[in-house]
A = this chain, B = another copy of it.
Amino acid sequence: MFAYIIDKIVPYTDSTIHISDLALQRGYGIFDFFRVRNKKPLFLEDHLDRFYASAGKMLLQSPVDRNELTDIIITLVEKNNLSDAGVKVLLTGGYAEDGYTITQPNLIVVVQPFKYPSEQQLQSGVKIITVNFRKELPDIKTINYQKAIMMTPAVKAANAVDLVYHHDGIISELPRCNFFIVTQEDVIKTPDQQILLGVTRKKVLQLARKKYKVEECSITLNDVYNAKEAFFTSSTKRIVPVVKVDDYMIGSGKPGKITLDLLSGLIQHEDEVLR
Q: How many copies does the complex hold?
A: 2
B22 lies within 8 A of A149 (CB): yes
- For the complex, what is the distance from the CA of A147 to the CA of B27, rounded to whole Å? 10
A142 at the interface (CB under 8 A from B): yes
- For the complex, what is the distance from the CA of A21 to the CA of B27, rounded to whole Å? 12
A74 at the interface (CB under 8 A from B): no
Chain A contact residues, majority secondary structure? mixed
Of the listed stretches A65-73, A86-94, A177-185, chain B binds: A86-94
B58 lies within 8 A of A26 (CB): no
Q: Indicate with 1 or 0, residue by residue over A156-192, a CB within 8 angstroms of chain B CB atoms.
A: 0000000000000000000000000000000000000
Is the interface on chain A under 10, 10 to 19, 20 to 34, or 35 or more residues?
Answer: 35 or more
A272 at the interface (CB under 8 A from B): no
Q: Which residues of A contact B (CB under 8 A)?
A: 3, 5, 13, 15-29, 57-59, 88, 90, 92-93, 99-102, 108, 110, 112, 133-137, 142-147, 149-150, 152-153
Q: Besides A24-B143, A134-B134, 12 other CB < 8 A contacts?
A: A15-B20, A16-B17, A16-B19, A17-B24, A23-B23, A24-B24, A26-B149, A27-B145, A100-B149, A101-B152, A136-B144, A136-B147
**Can you sample 18 A-B contacts with CB below 8 Å?**
A15-B20, A16-B17, A17-B19, A23-B24, A23-B27, A24-B90, A24-B92, A24-B143, A25-B143, A26-B145, A27-B142, A27-B143, A27-B146, A57-B150, A100-B149, A134-B134, A136-B144, A137-B146
